Amino acid sequence: MSKYRYILNLDLICRELLSIFDSGAIISSQNEVLNLKYETLADIGTLGPSASTVIKYFPMKMGDIVILNDPYSGGTTLSTLSIVTPLYIGSLSMGNLYLVVRTFFRPQLSHCRNLEEEGLRIPPTPIGAERKINKAVLKMILQHPKCPAGFENRLYDVLENVWRSVDSFQAIVEQNHTIFSKVVLQKYFDYTDKALGQSFNEWSHGDSKTELTLDGGELIRLRTYFDQEKILFDFSGTKSSLRMCLTDSATMGSCVGATLALFKQNLPINSGLFSHFQVVTPLGSLVNTKYPSPTFKGMTEGTSLIASIVINGISSIIAPNRIPMSAQSPALIQFTFSDGRNFFDSLAGGIGASGLMGGADSLHLWTRNKLRNSVQEIESHFPMRINQIGIRHASGGKGQFYGGNGLHKEYQLLEPAQLTWAIEQKKSPPQGTMGGAPGLPPEIWIYPKSGEKYSLPEEEGTLNLQEGDRVFVCTAGGGGFGR
Amino acid sequence: MALQLGVSLSSSFIEFCLTQTNENEKILSFQRKYLAKESLTQAVQSFLQEESNRKIKRVIISTRFLEKILESHLGGGVAQVVTSGFESWPVLRQPTRPFYFEIHPYRADPLGVHDLIFPLSERVSAQGQILVPLDLAELEFIAAKLKLMKVKKVCINLLFSDKNPVHLESVKNFFQEKGFLVYAEMDLETTDEMAQWRRNLLNACLTGSFTDFKEELYAAFAPHFKPEEIYFAFEKEVHNEINENKLISLFFGLPYSFSKIFQKTPQVLHLGIEDWCLYDFSRKQNIWESQWGPIGVKTFENKRLNVQLTEEIIAVPLGGLNHSKTELGYEPGPILFGKAHRPTVFDVLFAKQNPKNMEAFIHRQVQNRLDSQLNVLVRNKYEGFSSEEALHDLKDQIIHQIIHQVELNVRHKQIVMTGALAPFLFEKIKKRSTELDWILHSNADEVEAWAASTLKGRS
């Protein structure tokens, strides 16, 4: 049997197993990532650590379940639940294997300065053994006022798929021990490493320095060093923030995800691939924040901003045609109604143009958005109406190639609600390059049922609104390229 | 004895299966024809000529021929009338591609052209209340514009038509009276408006090409069968009338026909000549994840295998050879079919053996070409292996990939294998996959047409 067959089969098995989950990873007891499926940039860097934390502190048997959402234990936002369970415990030379999967609840946006105010924080918590949920532990979680709606049903749904996958995987391992050997795993890593290395070799190498100032005044500094073997992202000099906070794992995920996107690589994400990356994040800076800093904005908008500065950093080394700034931070909107129902929406801006083509209109660059967008479904569940959704024409930066347009969306409240919003790139809209014009910044307009319309000047805040009030959101356009 | 003819018509093959209506386990006659070698009419006429001494009561067709239409030609000129304020919604809701992160993402191609989307002032609430009444003057304007543009097909895509269809019906009647073809099917089980709207759009896009195809089909069966004697399998029924608002339904006739014969063993691995798919007939789904985005369709849970018979064999970044994601189809098809130059999964599986049921299509004269193409690929990728060993290894790899995909997705221990390739792969798969209880269907080779022949039609 050729060496390739084992590697390709291992790759297929891992991908197929993870395909039914929103995101997930297979980790060995040596903390190696065999394969990973992501939904967001943060997933890329945090799935491994979330499982590693559990493996380190909880000796697990088959059928044991540990859940967590704590970003400081490898989670991302408090509305993302990670579930860790052993996948195979036995005599494999590659070690025991663990499965970590994630499921996403509708997020809750808040402008707090403490993680505990953002929602229910679940540190790594054993919640089951022998495939049975500990009802007492579950009850405690469900009784918490900030427990996400539908938590119990979702947990059981995901676990049903988890057990099916574990059983199938066990059967495959029993019949194909040779695939799951240390030697094959190392070759899998080596070949992934080599494949990425080959694409790195096709580009010129060097050093660059970039800076990005956020709307709140925070500074991100990045030194990018790129050679045939490694790519270094050094965030030394980056300041701290009270509102835009990422863990070092999430920063790592942003760097890796952005690099792969720039090099157009759809390689398996595993420890072989990670070996090319080195990320330096000063402790206490916004790219390596400490408990109890809030992380929602960092894990959503922040990862997008990190990705954009990484792309700028790399492209200034390798690409004669620099990639202009996309409207990479979505506009985040939330309506909280008096009965506790919470509607959250994430609206994409335009993608920046490049030297090859114009940008796409209103696309999420760094998430494959799983939020339900159906107008009929939203209006059926929430006391609101969506009056219009359209392309925000002429919002993309002009140039030889135009930046993508943002979008506009109008909500009308049928009951009083509190609006919470967060929009980045308002003060520094997505810039163009090589003479291209910037895209328009994002805007939010309030049309009260009675009274004059007004624009919200701040990039984030909360506001109480009445029945009949309308909220009109415009997302940013992408930067243009060339004259 | 009454006989029923089942026909399975896909992009490149047509299969005929004759059974008795009261004893349909037994196949009286079966043929498979390759449509690149003979036309649809020739294939049908020659079969019917050979069976001219039999009295066939009716014909039941399950067809995936529409996939061929979709590959080559989607009819343009389809207008959409949508609730005002949502003219860009059909474009904005298109799924993002690719699936992995990329700095130049794009949207999957929408079905309709943006310039042919017309807003209509009207609005119905989630409770079915009319918030903005219909303005007939606007409809006149839209109709006039469409006539000027020579557009004949109109989709009526209004929000909450399922809650209150009064606007939908008014607009539909208006355009029908003006002589337009109107697509306004409501799906009461799909709540996502885009899944419903795409269904209307796809039906509209298919109409022109399907009309030509239908006429060719009826002509092929004439004079032996009148159109009312020809039935089609849809997603949940068999009927001899084809409503233009239900064309997509034809895509799912095959799973429907399978569901009738696999009730006792619902987990089925179908290794057909054009499609390899894992079905679970105990579970239903309401959405079809099409290349244009999710479309509302009622069918059975299915998963297309990530290895398909006409996928090209290529060198891959991880090393070695593997199947690509590009299906080359059957025109010209695998190298073994005589005209192509790029090796496919089919060529690897049958490089050294002739599947009996496909002998008529395979040209062993091109063996040298196949060997040479495979050698070129194998040469630098399989150090220490002879070409023959490498080929054997690659074949085994493909079989294992089928097994792993199936084993990771099944819900039941027992699984039936069926399809034209099943008889050749059954023993190899069963030997390597011992945890599952594999059963080879007794009519595996003929299953697509045979399943159609067992259906009961409604008129």
CB contact under 8 A, A8 and B397: yes
Query: Bridge-partner residues for A231, per DSSP?
Result: A226, A277
Assess B321–A contact: CB distance below 8 Å, yes or no: yes
> Are B194 and A165 an interchain contact pair (Cβ–Cβ within 8 Å)?
no
Task: Label the pairing between strands A443-447 and A454-455.
Answer: antiparallel
Contact B397, A9 (CB under 8 A): yes
A182: closest CA among A95, A90, A274? A95
- Tell whether B408 is within 8 A of chain A (Cβ): yes
pLDDT value for B2: 80
Nearest-Cα distance to chain B for A424, in Å, is 19
Torsion sign over Cα B331, B334, B340, B344: positive
Q: What torsion, rounded to 10 degrees, do the Cα atoms B324, B326, B327, B331 define?
A: -120
Q: What is the pLDDT of residue B326?
A: 87
Using CB atoms, which residue from A2, A169, A374 is nearest to B382?
A2
pLDDT confidence of residue B332: 87
Q: How confident is the model at residue B354 (pLDDT cuts 50, 70, 90)?
A: confident
Phi, psi for residue B238 in degrees, rounded to 5: -120, 130
Chain A contact set for B85 (CB, 8 A): 387-390, 410
Specify the pLDDT at position B71: 61
Query: Does residue B387 carry a pLDDT above 80?
Result: no
What distance in Å separates residue B105's CA from the closest CA in chain A? 7
| Helix (H) / strand (E) containing B80 | strand B78-83
Dig out the tokens for A74 from the structure: 């490898």
pLDDT digits (tens, 9 = 90+) for B123-132: 999 999 999 9
Q: Write out the H or E segment, with its range, that includes residue B131.
A: strand B130-132
Those of residues 370-389 in B touching chain A at CB distance below 8 A are 381-382, 385
Q: Measured on CA atoms in the order A154, A159, A164, A169, is the torsion positive or negative?
A: positive
- The tens place of each residue's pLDDT in chain A, 483 residues long, gives 677 788 888 999 999 999 999 999 999 999 999 999 999 999 999 999 999 999 999 999 999 999 999 999 999 999 999 999 999 998 888 899 999 999 999 888 888 889 999 999 999 999 999 999 999 999 999 999 989 989 999 999 999 999 999 999 998 998 888 889 999 999 999 989 988 888 888 888 899 999 988 888 899 999 999 887 789 999 999 999 988 999 999 999 999 999 998 887 778 999 999 999 999 999 999 999 999 999 999 999 899 989 989 998 998 888 766 666 666 778 999 999 999 889 999 999 999 998 888 999 999 888 776 666 899 999 999 999 999 999 999 999 999 999 999 999 999 999 999 999 999 888 888 888 889 999 999 999 999 999 999 999 998 999 999 999 999 999 999 999 998
What is the DSSP secondary-structure string of B60-118?
Answer: EEEE-THHHHHHH-----EEEEEETT-TTHHHHTSPEESSS--SS-EEPPPSS-GGGEE
The reported pLDDT for the residue numbered B458 is 55
In this prediction the ipTM stands at 0.90
Contacts with B194 from chain A: Cβ below 8 Å = 374
Decide which of B209 and A222 is more confident.
A222
Q: Which residue of B has its CA nearest to A367?
A: B101
Q: Tell me the residue type at B363.
A: H
Residue A407 near chain B (CB below 8 Å)? yes
B366: tokens are 């091109």
Return the pLDDT at A369.
60
Q: What SS3 class is residue B82? A: strand
Q: What is the pLDDT of residue A115?
A: 93
State the best of A174, A256, A375 to mutate against chain B, taking most chain B CBs within 10 Å.
A375
> For residue B84, which residues of chain A lie inside 8 Å, CB to CB?
388
pLDDT tens, residue by residue, B245-286? 888 888 888 999 999 999 888 999 999 999 999 999 999 998
Residues of A in contact with B102 (CB under 8 A): 261, 264
Best B404, B412, B430 residue to mutate vs chain A (most A CBs within 10 Å)? B404
**C-alpha to C-alpha distance for A386 and A374, rounded to whole angstroms:** 10
Contact B318 A8 (CB under 8 A): yes
3-state secondary structure of A311: helix
In this predicted structure, the answer to whether residue B73 has a pLDDT above a threshold of 60 is: no
8 A C-beta contact, residue B347 and residue B371: no
Q: Quick one: pLDDT at residue A371? A: 61
Chain B contact for A353 (CB, 8 A cutoff): no
Region B321-339: mean pLDDT is 88
Work out the mean pLDDT of chain B and round it to a whole number. 89
Name the phi and psi angles at B79, rounded to 5: -90, 155
Q: How far is B20 from chain A (nearest CA, A)?
A: 41
- Residue A331: helix, strand or coil by DSSP? strand
On the CB side of A362, CA atoms within 13 Å amount to: 25
Query: Is A347 part of the contact surface with chain B (CB cutoff 8 Å)?
Result: no
Q: Tell me the average pLDDT across B79-106.
A: 90
Contacts of A356 in chain B (CB under 8 A): 104
The tokens for B110 are 């929408």
